[in-house]
Structures are given as structure tokens and as C-alpha cells.
Structure 1
Amino acid sequence: MAQPPIATVYVRNLEERVKPDVLKETLRAIFSEYGNVIDIVAKTNLKAKGQAFVVFDKPEAAEAAIDDIQGFELFEKPMHLALARTRSDATVLKTGNEDEFDAHKRRRMAEKDKKKALEAAEDQKRLKRPLPGAPAEIAARPAKNARGAGLKATGQAAAAVVPDEYLPPNRILFVQNLPDDYDKDVLTSIFNRFDGFREVRMVPGRSGIAFVEYDGEVGAIAAKENTAGMSLKDGEKTMKVTYQRQ
């Protein structure tokens, strides 16, 4: 199925010291010359600073802006422009189709979770790498992590373990921190409202944890987004929901 035309411009190489509100106002003034700008998203987290997304109501406006503004200096830095890889939330919302927007949001969250998992795995690998030029006897030592962020020191190389919150999506959820009296029926009533629900599996001899299985990732992603952090028993417990470790 062909992807609908993209009406969003991805902007990078922006001056990171400019405040988000000032940056968005300036971008709107520049890009509005090419069409109706319906949204501007300026990234503020450390890794994504210097980037923004400018959303037009028509794909032709996005293409015209890229052709004309490419390399334009803003705050003494040339902007690098390209079409975004996917449609923005604002574009999908314009269709008025709630089901389409929900599906779009689930796909975006799945991609975000996968990216986090890959980044976490890379971070763990870096912890295991010896420093350049380190003596062989030092390089051969097993990596140690004093903060316990997923590396277990053994007589061999330490194994990298991705933290629970960064595990990539799959169709089985791991549910923790449940009240002791929560059984299969109670959990079924919470999780069976999401598409593709299959079953709840309790762990024999262990209270407070369970596995919830769906037919596919889509239902599991929706369930995780809507139940993680849910308050249980009048706030006595907060449910933790992650993807099952593969």
C-alpha cells in the first residue's frame, strides 16, 4: 500500500541556543510564505536539539519550501531540509478519522520503542569496549558497571542487558507490581478491551506478576500505552507494564 504524500519538512542544523518559542515563531514566518503551516514541532531534548518539523496542509507546499529555502541561513547557520519520512500527527488528525490516527500513533510509538532499545543496546556495548590503546591485560578484563545498569561481572565478558523500559515491542506484555489479590479474571477485565487480546497467564507460586498475550504487536502496544503506570487499589500500587524479554 503506497504511503500518502508527505506534507512535513524535516529541518536540521538549527541553532541550539535559540529558545523553542522564538525558533518556532521564526520558522513559521519563513515557511508560511510557501503555504498554510498547520503545526511546528521543535525538538527540545538534548539528542534532538537543533531539529524541527514544519507541517503544511499540502505536500506541494512542503516540496516548494525545500527547493527554495534549502541552505538558507537562520541565526547564522544554514538550514538542511528534507521531507519527513512519515506523516505528522497534525496531518493525520486533519483526516478526522480517529481509527487512522490511533493506528498512526501506535506505529510511531512502536518505532520510538524500537529506537530506544537499539540505543540502549549500543550504550551497553560501549561500556564493554576497551579504551583505545589500553594494554591487552586491561582490555581482556570483564566490564564492570558499579551502578548495575544491566551488566553482570563474571569471569568472562559481561553480558549486555537492555533495561525493561527499552525493550522492543512484541505481542506479549510482562505486568508487574500487582496487588496480591489480583487474579486472572481481574486482569482480563483490564486488558481484554484492546484489539487482539488472547489471554492472561499468571505465574504459579508468584503473586504480583503476570503475562498478557495478544494476537499481534498492535494490540500489545495499545495496551501498554494505556495501562502502564495505572493506579491500582486506590493508589496503593502502580502497575508496571513492559514488553516480554525475548
Structure 2
Amino acid sequence: MSVETILPQIGIGQNPTPTSAPISQPLPFIPRMPTKLPLQPPYLKFALETIFKTYGEILEIRANSSLYRKGQAFVTFANLEDATKALKEAHGFVLFGKPIMCQYARFDSYLTVVSEGKSLDEYKTEFKKEKEKRDQEFKMLSATRKPISTPAVPSFSYVNVGGSVVALNVPNKILFLQQLPADVTQKELENLFNPFSGFVEVRTIPGKHDIAFVEYEDEMFATNAKNSIGAEFLLRPDQPKSSLSYARR
């Protein structure tokens, strides 16, 4: 059974556009990230979890050193619906100044293999053979074809606020904060947003102190907080204004 039917896996890597092939095919879901990332793997995993947990239950995030050097990572969701939603909606999300590119994973995650009762050692051997075959085919193809330019990132109907991360003015239970003071604390943000009904949590991203996410129980509570605080607000009297919008969905 393919990964999509048990543990849908998405990845983060170098492919420029999401696949349009049927999801019954074992295809990679790979967001593209900057090849020179400002965060080391442990912090990168936290940043990815902060973004992708909004789409559903995450079973595993793989962003080890070898994947990190390629600007890649893989995210395994508990069900296909959540993975598909993440693939469609997170594609183009700007992280560390560059858009994430998303596809379904080409191969099953180890969690999928184990859940199906298959031999992990046999799967790894099979995977290695397939990888060697693909690498050889790629070398042969590269030797015969002419160089082509990298496809442009497809356009999206979103507003880039502050040039850091993408946000849309579409109602969402998660709010997106930008242009925060560099030394802002989670406690400061909680003090601002917690008084509003339905508050769930504030989520910050290590290494990106100027942005944060605030989650409420539903869109109604989030909208109430957003309208009360305003699109621009002063967190501190002696600091420039910060911006508040709905997170992209």
C-alpha cells in the first residue's frame, strides 16, 4: 500500500512545483527551502512543526543533517486528507525569505513500512537499489539534454507583509504577527492575546524573532481579537508598529 493511503508523507526540498499526478501514485511531497538555512536541524524541525501542525496531526518530521544540506525535509501526517491540504495550502509559503515547494513523497516513510508489517531492512535494501537506478538514469539524461532554465515559482494570490512570511486576508483561527521587536518574549504576546476569548496559544519560531503565530479555538474568536487589536499595533511605546493578519490557509 502506498504511503498516501496510510501515513501520507510530505517533504521539503528542491522540486519547483507540486505534482499534478494522481495521489494514488507514490510521489514525493517536498517543500523547497533555502540551501543555506539560518537554523540547524533541531530548530528547523520546530519551525516546520509550527507551520504544518495547523493542517493536522504530524507523526514524524525528518530534517537530519544530510537532508538539511540539500535544503530538504519530510513531514509525515496521520492521514491523507491532512497531507493533501498541507500540500495545496503550504506550497508557496515563504520561509526564511524563500517559498516552500511541496510534493508528495516518492517513497514510503519508515513509519508506513512498519505499520504495514513489512521488513524495514528489506525496504531499505529495495530503496537503495531504486535510488542507484534513478541516479544512473539521471546522469545519462543530464549528459544528453541541453541545460534548461529553472521554472519560475508559480504566482499565488497572497500578500507579502513585511517580506518575511506570507499571509492572506482570509479568515483563519490562526493569526500571523510580523515586524515584532527582536527581543520580544512569548509572555508579552500572551499578555496581549490571552485576554480575548478562545485563546489557545502563541507559537514563536526559533531564529525568527520578528514573527509569531497566535491560535484561537475558531475563526470567530480569532477575528474578534484581530479586529480589537487592529492590523497594526504597538507592542511597546518605544518600538515601531507590528502587523497582524490572518495566517495563510
- The higher relative CO (CA closer than 8 Å, separation ≥ 6) is in 2
Which protein is bigger by CA-based radius of gyration?
A: 1
Q: What's the TM-score bracket when you normalise by the shorter of the two chains?
A: 0.3 to 0.5
Scaled by the length of structure 2, the TM-score of the pair is 0.42
